[in-house]
C-alpha cells in the first residue's frame, strides 16, 4: 500500500448523513429501474456499496475542505469536486476501474471498513489512463465481470492529488 495515505475521522452525524444519502440513491435507482453498472446485482449489497461510497466521498470532501453535495439523481457528475471516489468495504488495497471510466479523471481509493469507523482511509489516487494497464485486467469473482484492479502500491500519494 502506498505510504501516502490519509486517515480521515468522520463525526457520527456525518456518518448518519452518509447512510441517509445512500438510501436516497438506492431508492432513486430502484424507482427508475436503473440497474447497477457492469453486471452487479441489484440487491441490498448495492445499498451497502452506496453507503461505502458516500463515506468515501465525504471523507475526501472533508480532506479537501470542500462541500459534499451527495448528488442524488445526477449519475454523470464527479463525486467530489473534479474527483471520482472508489470505495471498498474491504482492505484489499486495490482500486477498481472500468473500461468506460474517463481516462482524464482522477480516482481516489477510499477504504471504508465498518469496523474502522469513524475513520476512513484515503489510500491514494490514479488517473483513469494510468490505471487501465493490461496487467491489472482481472475477473477475481470468475463471474464474467472483468475490470482493472490497480494494486495499492501503484497508487500515488494523497499529497500529490492536484487540487485545481
3-state SS string over 18-49?
Answer: HHHHHHHHHHHHHHCCCCCHHHCCCCHHHHHH
User: Whole-angstrom Cα distance, residue 92 to residue 133?
Assistant: 18
Are 100 and 81 in contact, with CB atoms under 8 Å apart? no
pTM for the full predicted model: 0.90
**Which position has the higher pLDDT, 42 or 146?**
146
Query: Looking at residue 74, what is its pLDDT?
Result: 74
Query: Looking at residue 62, what is its pLDDT?
Result: 97
Assess whether pLDDT exceeds 60 at residue 1: no
Assess whether pLDDT exceeds 90 at residue 122: yes
Q: How many CA atoms lie within 13 A of 106 on its CB side?
A: 17
- What does the block give as the cell for 95? 482500486
The pLDDT tens digits for 11-28 are 999 999 999 999 999 988
Assess whether pLDDT exceeds 80 at residue 85: yes
Query: Which stretches of the chain are assigned E, i.e. beta strand?
Result: 6-9, 83-88, 95-97, 106-111, 119-127, 137-138, 147-150
Instruction: Report the percent of the chain where pLDDT is more than 90.
Output: 60
Amino acid at each position: 500500500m502506498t505510504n501516502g495515505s490519509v486517515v480521515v475521522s468522520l463525526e457520527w452525524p456525518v456518518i448518519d448523513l452518509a447512510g441517509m444519502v445512500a438510501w436516497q440513491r438506492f431508492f432513486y435507482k430502484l424507482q427508475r429501474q436503473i440497474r447497477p453498472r457492469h453486471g452487479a446485482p441489484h440487491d441490498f449489497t448495492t445499498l451497502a456499496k452506496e453507503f461505502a461510497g458516500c463515506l468515501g466521498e465525504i471523507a475526501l470532501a472533508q480532506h479537501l475542505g470542500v462541500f459534499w453535495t451527495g448528488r442524488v439523481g445526477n449519475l454523470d457528475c464527479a463525486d467530489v469536486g473534479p474527483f471520482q471516489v472508489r470505495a471498498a468495504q474491504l482492505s484489499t488495497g486495490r482500486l477498481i476501474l472500468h473500461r468506460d471510466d474517463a481516462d482524464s479523471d482522477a480516482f481516489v481509493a477510499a477504504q471504508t471498513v465498518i469496523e474502522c469507523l469513524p475513520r476512513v482511509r484515503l489510500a491514494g489516487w490514479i488517473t483513469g489512463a494510468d490505471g487501465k494497464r493490461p496487467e491489472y485486467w482481472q475477473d477475481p469473482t470468475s463471474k464474467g465481470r472483468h475490470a482493472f484492479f490497480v494494486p495499492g502500491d501503484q497508487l500515488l500519494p494523497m499529497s500529490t492529488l492536484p487540487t485545481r
